[in-house]
Amino acid sequence: MTYRILTLDGGGPWALLEAMVLADLYGSDTPGHDILAEFDMAAGTSAGAIVLGGLVKNLTPAQILDLFVNDARRSTLFVKMHGLDRIVAELDLGPKYSTAGKLNGLAAMLDDTSLVPPTPATVNGQVKPLALSTRAIADLPLPPARGGATPVKVFITAFDYAQRRAALFRSYAGLSTPVATGMASTAPLAEAINASSTAPVTFFDTPAVCQGRLYWDGGLTGCNNPVMLALTEALQQGAGPVFQMLSLGSGTTRLAPHGDTSQPPAHLGEVTKAQGMMDDLTRLAQTTLDDPPDAASYDAHILAQRLAAQDPATLGGLVRFNVSVQPVLATGAWVQPAGLAGDLFTTLADLPADAVEPGQIALIQQLGRDWMAGRVPNQALVTRLPQLDCVLGDATYAEAKARWVALARA
């Protein structure tokens, strides 16, 4: 039987794009458990873990979207520093947000009785309480996977501060060896999500505490896009050889390369020389969090195609939904996509990962609508240089949607 996986990237408030895709694919008012029940496994990193937590709470995509677009709700997840610390943050000399404040906001969201799904969550025919902040991940009320008898498996990624290694909070038992037995995580859900979503140094003030250990953002593990990790976990669980993977991203930016056959205007082109030590340090610090170099979808595609005895040069069971802010090459000239006209291209390309201001949120929402309407490209699995065109993958949102719908019905 085909094994189906949902993965949710990190990306701060940009993760609202993931909620928009879920709403479009499954219905804006569909309970989260009904969506999770379409999959065998679901994984989230950073803000993707917040989206996953919403699904576990049985929130609809519309309610999850509201966590990011509603000013009051968003402010409980991105709690700005106060007093002198806030002044320092506004000068870009210190962290902007409170880790403890975020944990309080996550706990309030996970326990909020006003966030009532349209239908109660049931497991094995019994209504389950969804005050989940202190519920152990091993004991989450998860729906049966794809009409079967076992619950959908979920995991959340984080970066162990002391060990400097990836940590996974699993709802299921991990790998067992002759000297160690894999155990499902006893971490409270709110603490695990907080651990996964605490971007370091310039974003949040301290590492998150989960069961007495310190953690930074799961994006630091190199798994901001957790699709390859999820495929590995599924294989460890004995799944395969045929996989379907719905990989949802939170936006990426590509600028036009310079070369003999590519001479883009300055505002559409990549940098052509080193920018100096301070700028380079900033770029390096942002590499895993702001706009990570993403090879995970490609790697997972190659592995899944080989496992299924299919040609990796053809499309298979992985569908990547991720808006790409990039110019397009039309009749030999670099131009802005229809949805990124005027100053909008530069504004969105420069928008930070923590775009929390109301005007910035509105821009991301409009970007999502333009992407869905075909006015902004979708991220490819393989992009050709210098053209930046899609040679493997889905060039548009509509193509990705059509392929996922066809796979899900097969």
* pLDDT one-digit tens code per residue, 307-352: 999 999 999 999 999 999 999 998 889 999 999 999 999 999 999 9
Model confidence band, residue 121 (pLDDT cutoffs 50, 70, 90): low
Report percent pLDDT > 90 for the chain: 76
- What pLDDT score was predicted for residue 286? 67
Distance CA 194, CA 217 (A): 8
> pLDDT tens digits, residue range 156-205?
999 999 999 999 999 999 988 787 778 999 999 999 999 999 998 788 99
- What pLDDT score was predicted for residue 124? 60
Query: How is the chain split into domains, by residue range?
Result: 3-254+297-325+392-409
Average pLDDT over residues 4-14: 97
Sequence-ordered list of residues with C-beta below 8 angstroms from that of 251, at least 6 positions apart, any chain: 11, 14, 17, 291, 322, 323, 324, 325, 364, 367
More confident residue, 95 or 132: 132
Model confidence band, residue 390 (pLDDT cutoffs 50, 70, 90): very high
Which residue's entry shows tokens 């971490």? 187
Distance CA 14, CA 367 (A): 10
Angle, vertex CA 54, rays to CA 378 and CA 23, nearest 5: 40
Q: Which CATH architecture has domain 3-254+297-325+392-409?
A: 3-Layer(aba) Sandwich (3.40)
- What pLDDT score was predicted for residue 289? 67
- Give me Rg for the CA atoms of the chain: 21
Q: What is the pTM of this model?
A: 0.94
**Closest CA relative to residue 9, chosen from 204, 185, 219, 181:** 219
CB 156, CB 169: distance < 8 Å: yes
Instruction: DSSP letter for 6, please.
Output: E
Over 80: is that where the pLDDT of 281 sits? no
- What pLDDT score was predicted for residue 292? 74
More confident residue, 113 or 59: 59
**Closest CA relative to residue 237, chosen from 173, 303, 177, 180:** 173
Over 70: is that where the pLDDT of 45 sits? yes
Q: Please tell me the least confidently modeled range out of 49-53, 122-126, 253-257.
A: 122-126
Instruction: DSSP letter for 269, please.
Output: B
The segment with the largest mean pLDDT, out of 220-224, 244-248, 270-274, is 244-248
> pLDDT tens digits, residue range 352-364?
999 999 999 999 9
